[in-house]
Amino acid sequence: MTLLLDLPSATEWILISLAFGSALLIPFIFYLVTLQSTLRTVSPENRKMPPSNVWLLLIPVFGLIWHFIVVARMADSISTEAKAKGIPLNEPKPAYGFGLAMCILNCILFLPILHFYTGVAALVCWILYWVKIAEYKNRLRASQSASVGTAI
């Protein structure tokens, strides 16, 4: 008995790639929306970059390097805004540790031997960074609501 396996055709590979790419792209777009809305929550004078610049992360290869810059500027923007509004922070550079780890692991993904393990670690750091940024956005918004409520 001979067992023959049919490999996917070129068209099937394209469809598989599109499905896999879409599965990764959709959460990444929601991540970018979170980053952008967090920067919009920060007062314009405290922002270290315009909110729309987070979309530059979609540019292949450039996005890997730009992600380091976005992580640093997000941390600085949140920190500056928190100091200006008197919001206590547990860390001097909010979410910077997870963000930096995520960026480094994303770069290491291209090493053939370690790519699976670093991929899992990068995914975990990405999710933790995303959650931390969303928490800081909610804290900044809560302080804005409180200040608007006391002004009335």
The pLDDT tens digits for 107-147 are 998 888 877 788 889 999 999 999 999 999 999 999 877 66
pLDDT of residue 117: 83
* Spatial CB neighbours of 125, under 8 Å, sequence gap ≥ 6: 98, 99, 101, 102, 105
Q: Quick count: other Cβ atoms within 10 Å of Cβ 74?
A: 27
Q: Would you state the pLDDT for residue 13?
A: 72
pTM of the predicted structure, to 2 decimals: 0.83
Q: Which residues, at least 6 apart from 107, have a Cβ–Cβ distance to it below 8 Å?
A: 64
> Mean pLDDT across the stretch 39-68?
96
Cβ count near 32 (within 10 Å):
16
Give pLDDT tens digits for 22-46: 778 899 999 999 999 999 999 999 9
Which of 52-61, 71-80, 141-150 shows the lowest per-residue confidence on average (mean pLDDT)? 141-150
**How far from 41 is each of 76, 116, 149, CA to CA, in Å?**
14, 36, 17
